[in-house]
Structure 1
């Protein structure tokens, strides 16, 4: 047990030390004011009715797919205002419908390395009596692979804002790929 705690402490310390080595805002880092962000995420976990990620799942003849992306603008250093759009569908023996999803929120990079996001997302589902909406919180780590590309693994929790919608709160794992310019 002591070895596990020591190993985890070493990893956490290393991550925080590396974050402190990131570029300063004055030399044009990826999260500086005035920069743009274009992001595509994969979605691992329970699919929700509102989705701006790339995802596909099938089980016992039931299929759910989605394609989407998000964009943001850094209004100040490390803080981006974001929006996203997605299109997907659900298909099984009973349902064959299309879903249009949207998202708006903010993303803040703590120490220019640890992204935390808060957002509102919703969807318009063809022929649905009620459309889903969620309040989401997301956190992760940004690996910058040069001047314009980052990989951002993270976790996400969606709180359902609908009382009667079939999907309740959901937990997801995401792997994001972002372009910074």
Structure 2
């Protein structure tokens, strides 16, 4: 399943890698970005995740998109949908934030991430801070490994923060 998902993402990305070549960098003002990330099974994720243990399966599917409002600075939104087979629940996740490419190669991001959980009395809300490196494999495609810290803003849901190691696949259009 992971290989199929990666292959589909690679075909999509390479098919659009030369869609726009206007002479600017991938992070120039007016450029769009589409990003898919790996992640852990944290509630409120817009990443691609799947875990299965002792008959319980937890999954999430999501994408982030953004627009560069100035060189190296993009505003982003993300949506995700997931579920938990043991709890028989659905989770809708959302993200709103900004991402700045320091020197065009080091993405630094801040965002607000939340989730709406079916039949839950409390829903999570996180302040996410992240940093990483953008490895451009073509002029319009980057692999972005990075670290992320999610600070809980809803102490009734959890008062613990969550560290993540993510690998993002970003297409710049």
Q: Bin the TM-score by the shorter chain.
A: 0.7 to 0.9
Residue 13 (structure 1) aligns with: none
**Counterpart-to-counterpart distance in 1, 2:74 and 2:130:** 14
Residue 33 of structure 1: SS of its match in structure 2? coil
Give the greater-gyration-radius structure (CA): 1
1:88 to 62, 82, 86: 82
Shift of 1:54: 0.2
Residue 114 (structure 2) aligns with: 122
Residue 6 (structure 2) aligns with: none
In the comparison of the two structures, how many residue pairs are matched? 152
Unaligned runs of 5+ in 1: 1-25
1:50 equivalent to 2:44? Answer: yes
8 A contact 2:63–2:78 mirrored in 1? yes
8 A contact 2:34–2:170 mirrored in 1? yes
For normalisation by structure 1, the TM-score amounts to 0.81
Residue 26 (structure 2) aligns with: 30
Q: Deviations over 1:36-74 (max 9, x none)?
A: 000000014xx2210100001122222210000000000
8 A contact 2:152–2:158 mirrored in 1? no
**Counterpart-to-counterpart distance in 1, 2:165 and 2:88:** 26
* Residues 65-80 of structure 1 aligned to structure 2 (within 5 Å): 65-80=59-74
Deviant stretches of 4+, over 3 Å: none
Shift of 1:166: 4.3
For normalisation by structure 2, the TM-score amounts to 0.84
